Amino acid sequence: MSIQTSKEIRSIVTNEGNIELSIVHAEIPTPTENEVLIKVEASPINPSDLGLLISFAADLESLTITGSGDDSVASMKIHPGLMGAMKPRLDQSMQVGNEGGGVVIDAGENAKHLIGKTVGVAGGAMYSQYRCVPAQSCLVMDDGTTSAEASSSFVNPLTALAFVETMKMENHTAMVNTAAASNLGQMLVKICKDDGVPLVNIVRKPEQVKVLKDLGAEYVCDTSDADFMKDLVDALVATGATLGFDATGGGNDGKLPGQILGAMEIAANKTAKEYSRYGSDTYKQVYIYGGLDQTPTVLNRSFGMQWGLGGWLLTPMIGRIGMERFGQMRERVAKEITTTFASHYTQEISFEEMLKPEIIKAYAKQGTGAKYLVNPHK
């Protein structure tokens, strides 16, 4: 190869209490016998990327930019009370970007058959122009699939599929999802429609109701509607959903997870045969899998004693599912990447644009339906 270096985005927390984003030039590695070298052509900015990219501790109001072009550095102060949580990564220049899509341009002896293939990969450090990864980590796409289409083939699609697997493994028959108009939420609507799984969708705006209804969603509840709780209870009675997935963590003034549990309890009691001072005997579970809203989670204990609230993460869930089933899920994603698992983006941005103040503040908001796609070669 004539190209010797690859531009990539780095994030570092300094001893001075700042987090800095910059563009660096790194040497392109040569793939070993079981590796491939990918020309990364697209990589999304997911909420899961932001914890490393700008961290939960950054003060966006302190954002400053020095330099220009490839020499741009975006700097934000770390909230003093949160600096202790940053100690494990102090002064480490960290590569970022969970997933991406691109074309294999070189390969080791055992992976030559992948040269020229468009692949999706969740290898970390994907905000890079070139990335060397194990061949087995690549999800090979059908001919005609673009790198942009392949770029979101892991985080959202497999999370949505794993929700259904969780439902089955934990003996539920229907489920609730919040921030349901997001790319992930729209995927889940299509999965559940195809697989015959009853789904209750929770959104925050009337226009998001229309988005999901147009996709074929039957139950969509809007938290901004005065009848939200009534609509939610009615949907839970109709579906029998006793499992919820909450992307907000503190949505609706921190009350949303508790509101879901409370509505499940009301729905269960509508069919209860007798009164119990301990509430219904129906077990209700809500998993928080995101932090779109940093408001503290508030529980008003109105849902009996048969309930659970916990965290949910894709990686350990994959271990529970097992590699055989996980492989089947990946195959489905590759086959349906332009339909069921299609993603939509607000804007395609370059590395330089990724460090502009207005764009940093925009993707840091994690707004539903507002997603950025990074093109390392733009």
pLDDT confidence of residue 356: 96
- Best CA proximity match to 307, nearest among 291, 289, 287: 287
User: Crossing angle for the helix pair 314-321 and 155-169, nearest 10 degrees?
Assistant: 50
Please write the tens of the pLDDT for every residue from 148-205.
999 999 999 999 999 999 999 999 999 999 999 999 999 999 999 999 999 999 999 9
Residue 1 has pLDDT above 60, yes or no: no
Q: Domain check: are 95 and 51 in the same one?
A: yes
330 domain residue, yes or no = no
120 domain residue, yes or no:
yes
Question: Does 147 lie in the same domain as 166?
Answer: no
pLDDT band for position 366 (50/70/90)? confident
Q: The domain spanning residue 50 has which CATH number?
A: 3.90.180.10
Nearest to 264 by CA among 234, 224, 222: 234
Q: Are 17 and 164 found together in one domain?
A: no
Q: What is the pLDDT of residue 147?
A: 98
Mean pLDDT of 134-158: 97
Model confidence at 3, pLDDT cuts 50, 70, 90, reads low
On whether both 267 and 368 belong to a single domain, the answer is no
| 203 in the same domain as 221 | yes
Please determine, for residue 251, whether its predicted confidence score (pLDDT) is greater than 80: no
Q: Is residue 298 classed exposed, middle or buried when 0-12, 13-18 and 19+ CB atoms within 10 A define those classes?
A: middle
Tens digit of each residue's pLDDT (9 = 90 or more) over 29-71: 999 999 999 999 999 999 899 999 998 889 999 999 999 999 9
Residue 340 included in any domain: no
Report CA-CA distances (Å) from 33 to 47, 104, 120, 125, 364: 34, 14, 20, 21, 39
pLDDT at 252 over 90: no
Query: Residue 275: its pLDDT value, please?
Result: 76
Q: In the predicted model, is pLDDT for residue 290 greater than 90?
A: no
Q: Is residue 337 part of a domain?
A: no
Provide the pLDDT for residue 274. Answer: 75
The Cα 243–Cα 257 span in angstroms is: 11
Same domain, 167 and 310: yes
Mean per-residue pLDDT over the chain, rounded: 94
Same domain, 17 and 127: yes
Same domain, yes or no: 233 and 289:
yes
Q: Answer yes or no: do 66 and 107 share one domain.
A: yes
Query: What Cα–Cα distance (Å) separates residue 103 from each residue in 1, 3, 116, 153, 173?
Result: 15, 15, 6, 14, 40
pLDDT computed for residue 2 by the predictor: 56
pLDDT at 33: 97
Per residue in 314-341, pLDDT tens?
999 999 999 999 999 999 999 999 999 9
Instruction: Tell me how many domains the chain contains.
Output: 2
pLDDT of residue 367: 77
Residues 232-253 have a mean pLDDT of: 92
Same domain membership, residue 287 and residue 276: yes
**pLDDT greater than 60 at residue 265:** yes
- List the CATH number of the domain containing 301: 3.40.50.720
Domain hosting residue 200, numbered range: 155-318
- Among candidate residues 6, 126, 25, 5, the one with its CA nearest the CA of residue 71: 25
Stretch 99-124: mean pLDDT: 97
Quickly state the pLDDT bin for 293 (edges 50, 70, 90). Answer: confident
Contact present, 264 and 236 (Cβ < 8 Å): yes
Lowest mean pLDDT across 13-27, 278-292, 312-326: 278-292
% pLDDT > 70, the chain: 99
pLDDT tier, 227 (very low <50, low <70, confident <90, very high otherwise): very high
Query: Does 59 share its domain with 107?
Result: yes
pLDDT for residue 369 is more than 80: no
In sequence order, the 6+-apart residues with CB closer than 8 A to the CB of 68 are: none
pLDDT on residue 263 = 96
Distance CA 327, CA 330 (A): 5
Same structural domain, 14 and 125: yes
Quote the pLDDT of residue 89: 94
User: Of the candidates 15, 7, 233, 23, which has an alpha carbon nearest to the alpha carbon of residue 131?
Assistant: 7
83-103, pLDDT tens digit by residue?
A: 998 999 999 999 999 999 999
> Cα separations (Å) of 234 from 93, 207, 270?
51, 21, 10
Residue position matching structure tokens 């202790």: 84
* Cβ–Cβ < 8 Å for 174, 237: no
First to last CA, the chain: 20
